[in-house]
């Protein structure tokens, strides 16, 4: 079937059900999410011989993270953690992370205080453009974030995001055509200015 | 001409207010952007804007005319390309 915009528009998602990552620290993971963070353990699958060769037996368990969402883990029984899955606490490894939302700034500050009172190192707070976030790690080293969004995202934000990505994709294509990687944000911003000027002249 | 476009949202608006005080030409566009410009060299200091670094370093996200000669924690300098 050929997909078109009308078909795509009918397909809606209703929030995150779960995200999942592997853990090799079973007890610590349960104690952290259930006992320290207070996320209820709401579901656990255990299976024998069902997984692919190399990890036939496993646990897959889920913690409630609000509004029907969960955060889940796999624990592969009898399997040593491969080196490539050891979390690197650097920008590239940390780009994979989970960020939960809270509705008020007070909640964010309460979380920070509560986590610190329980011995968690909340090592960073960053107020980005419209999100105010705290950062900490789970026993696996995985980066976790709690975010308060300071205002709703509007049509203006969305239109701007479209133009940023349009400019970036065009800059990347141009660089690739010249056999070069895209290595400078300035080229994207100059293209973005062209798009903004074109938009203004249309109005 | 050296210029940047700010998205006209609360996070970036303090930069526009300060830019006017810093002598730049500031034009609010109909399309949701604010153009800051200066003939020749555009210089904008961060401290008077009051914005923190995560917003500061994304200020030209709306667009850039010219070439960034310096962009550190305190100063953005754009020259005619």
Tens of pLDDT along A35-83?
A: 999 999 999 999 887 777 777 799 999 999 999 999 999 999 988 899 9
Read off the pLDDT of each residue in B56-73 and give the average, rounded to a whole number.
Answer: 97
Q: What is the DSSP letter of A90?
A: S
The secondary structure element, H or E, covering residue B20 is helix B13-21
As a whole number, the mean pLDDT across chain B is 97
pLDDT tens profile A164-198: 999 999 999 999 999 988 889 999 999 999 999 99
Q: Do A156 and B10 touch (CB under 8 A)?
A: no
CA distances from A22 to A41, A94, A193 (A): 16, 15, 43
CA dihedral B69, B5, A200, A196 (to 10 degrees): 70
| Residue B65 bridge partners (DSSP) | B3
Instruction: Indicate the residue of A126, A127, A189 with minimum beta-carbon distance to B60.
Output: A189
Chain B contact for A128, CB < 8 A? yes
The answer to whether residue B20 scores a pLDDT higher than 90 is: yes
Residue with more model confidence, B10 or A9? B10
Distance CA A157, CA A34 (A): 36
DSSP string, A12-48: ---S--EEEEE-S-HHHHHIIIIIIS-PPEEEEEEES
Contact A59, A77 (CB under 8 A): yes
Name the residue facing B64 among A159, A193, A203 (closest C-beta).
A193
Question: Chain B contact for A129, CB < 8 A?
Answer: yes
Question: Minimal Cα–Cα distance from A41 to chain B, Å?
Answer: 36
Digit-coded pLDDT (tens) for A108-127: 999 999 999 999 999 999 99
pLDDT digits (tens, 9 = 90+) for A16-34: 999 999 999 999 999 999 9
Question: Which residues of B sit within 8 Å Cβ distance of A?
Answer: 3-5, 7-12, 29-33, 52, 54-55, 58, 60-65, 67-68, 81
Q: Cβ B61–A199 below 8 Å, yes or no?
A: no
ipTM, two decimals: 0.96
């Amino acid at each position: 079937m050929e997909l078109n915009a009308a078909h795509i528009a009918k397909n809606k998602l209703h929030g995150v059900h779960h995200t999942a990552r592997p853990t090799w620290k079973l007890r610590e993971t349960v104690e952290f999410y259930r006992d320290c963070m207070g996320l209820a353990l709401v579901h656990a699958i255990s299976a024998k011989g069902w997984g692919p060769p190399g990890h036939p037996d496993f646990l897959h368990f889920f913690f409630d993270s609000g509004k029907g969402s969960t955060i889940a883990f796999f624990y592969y029984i009898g399997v040593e953690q491969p080196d490539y899955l050891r979390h690197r606490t650097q920008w590239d490894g940390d780009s994979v992370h989970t960020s939960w939302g809270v509705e008020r700034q007070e909640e964010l500050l309460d979380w920070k205080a509560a986590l610190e009172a329980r011995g968690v190192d909340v090592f960073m707070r960053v107020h980005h453009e419209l999100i105010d976030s705290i950062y900490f790690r789970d026993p696996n080293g995985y980066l976790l974030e709690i975010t308060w969004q300071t205002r709703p995202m509007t049509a203006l934000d969305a239109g701007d995001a479209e133009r940023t990505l349009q400019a970036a994709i065009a800059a990347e294509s141009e660089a690739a055509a010249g056999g070069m990687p895209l290595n400078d944000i300035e080229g994207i911003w100059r293209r973005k200015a062209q798009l903004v000027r074109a938009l203004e002249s249309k109005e | 001409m050296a210029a940047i476009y700010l998205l006209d949202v609360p996070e970036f608006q303090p930069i526009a207010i300060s830019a006017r005080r810093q002598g730049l030409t500031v034009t609010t566009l109909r399309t949701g952007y604010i153009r800051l410009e200066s003939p020749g060299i555009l210089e904008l200091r961060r401290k008077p804007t009051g914005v923190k670094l995560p917003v500061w370093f994304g200020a030209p996200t709306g667009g850039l005319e010219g070439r960034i000669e310096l962009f550190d924690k305190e100063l953005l300098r754009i020259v005619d390309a």
